[in-house]
């Protein structure tokens, strides 16, 4: 693999940053400055240092993002800002994409990855990966409506949702919904079926991942090794 590609796929630097760093002697391969950024390296064996730090090769990237409102869940969009616009440039060359969708005005936990196989597994309807959402609605919900929600509802297009859980707060206007499927605008449409309206929606968990309290809106971080293990196990 070319050295600049290695630095790019490990999200260390863009290819042009890599070329500049090589010229500035800030890159070492097995302790020796490389001739240029096109030099071939063996990612499994060679020790690459960038700015004094050893770069570890990884096949895939897993990023946890706290999505703010106003961003679409896409890799690129002619008109709207996408969730990928929230990451620094060195991440743009990795081929990351959102694993599942949140509406433009939905907030919270979003996984970004370049691992197509894992995403395919996690999103497979057969796997029933659970997603939890904190919500607020316009009108108070009754116990009878919550029971209908739990049993599964018929949406306006005739689709019958799987049973979903709803835990209501004392104010009857907010709570936590747990889904095991992810149809287009599902929660909004479920509330419409109850003649109600979502006013706030935030994903607080996706499978084994939970939205960290200390991750500000719009901020992101790589999964911890424990989170990554749990996610891979959930996709088994
Ligand atoms: N349900 C919705 O209606 N919107 C989302 O973004 C996620 C679940």
pLDDT tens digits, 12-35? 999 999 999 999 999 999 999 999
Ligand 1, CB cutoff 6 Å, lining residues? 102-103, 106, 185-188, 201
Express as a percent the part of the chain with pLDDT over 70: 100
Helices and strands per DSSP (H, E), number in the chain: 6, 12
pLDDT higher than threshold 90 for residue 125? no
pLDDT of residue 181: 94
Counting from 1 in the atom list of ligand 1, the atom nearest the Cα of 185 is 3
pLDDT category at 107 given cuts 50, 70, 90 is very high
Q: Does 115 qualify as catalytic in the annotation?
A: no
Compute, in angstroms, the gap from residue 228 CA to the centroid of ligand 1. 24
Atom of ligand 1 nearest to the CA of 105: 6
Could you count the other beta carbons within 10 Å of the beta carbon of residue 21? 19
Q: Which residue among the candidates 42, 103, 115, 157 is catalytic per the annotation?
A: 103
pLDDT at 93 over 90: no
CA angle 130, 134, 140 (to 5 degrees): 120
Q: Say how many Å lie between the CA of residue 27 and the centre of ligand 1.
A: 45
State the average pLDDT over residues 211-233: 97
For residues 208-227, b (16+ Cβ closer than 10 Å) or e, as one string? ebebeeeeeeeebeebeeeb
pLDDT at 48 over 90: yes
Cβ atoms of 87 and 63 closer than 8 Å:
yes
Specify the pTM: 0.89
Q: Given a cut of 90, is residue 114 above it in pLDDT?
A: yes
- pLDDT score of 92: 82
Tens of pLDDT along 163-221?
Answer: 999 999 999 999 999 999 999 999 999 999 999 999 999 999 999 999 999 999 999 99
Question: What kind and span of H or E run contains 191?
Answer: helix 186-193
Taking CB atoms within 8 Å and a gap of at least 24, the contacts of 35-44 are 37/2, 37/3, 37/4, 37/7, 38/2, 38/3, 38/4, 39/2, 39/3, 40/1, 40/2, 40/3, 41/1, 41/2, 41/3, 41/6, 42/1, 43/1, 43/6
Tracing tokens 């630097």 back to the chain, one arrives at 13
User: How many angstroms is it from 86 CA to the middle of ligand 1?
Assistant: 20
């Amino acid at each position: 693999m070319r050295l600049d590609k290695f630095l790019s796929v490990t999200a260390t630097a863009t290819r042009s940053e890599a070329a500049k760093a090589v010229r500035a002697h800030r890159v070492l391969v097995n302790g020796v400055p490389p001739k240029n950024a096109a030099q071939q390296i063996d990612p499994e064996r060679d020790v690459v240092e960038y700015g004094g730090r050893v770069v570890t090769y990884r096949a895939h990237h897993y990023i946890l993002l706290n999505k703010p409102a106003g961003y679409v869940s896409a890799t690129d969009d002619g008109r709207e800002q996408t969730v990928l616009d929230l990451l620094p440039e060195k991440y743009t060359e990795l081929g990351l994409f959102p694993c599942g969708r949140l509406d433009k005005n939905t907030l919270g936990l979003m996984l970004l990855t370049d691992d197509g196989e894992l995403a395919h597994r996690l999103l497979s309807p057969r796997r029933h990966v659970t997603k939890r959402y904190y919500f607020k609605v316009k009108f108070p919900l009754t116990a009878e409506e919550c029971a209908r929600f739990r049993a599964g509802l018929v949406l306006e297009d005739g689709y019958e949702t799987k049973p979903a859980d709803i835990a209501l707060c004392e104010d009857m206007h907010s709570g936590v919904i747990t889904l095991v499927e992810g149809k287009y605008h599902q929660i909004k449409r479920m509330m419409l079926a109850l003649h109600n309206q979502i006013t706030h929606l935030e994903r607080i968990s996706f499978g084994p991942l939970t939205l960290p309290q200390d991750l500000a809106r719009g901020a992101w971080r790589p999964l911890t090794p424990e989170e990554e293990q749990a996610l891979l196990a959930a996709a088994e």
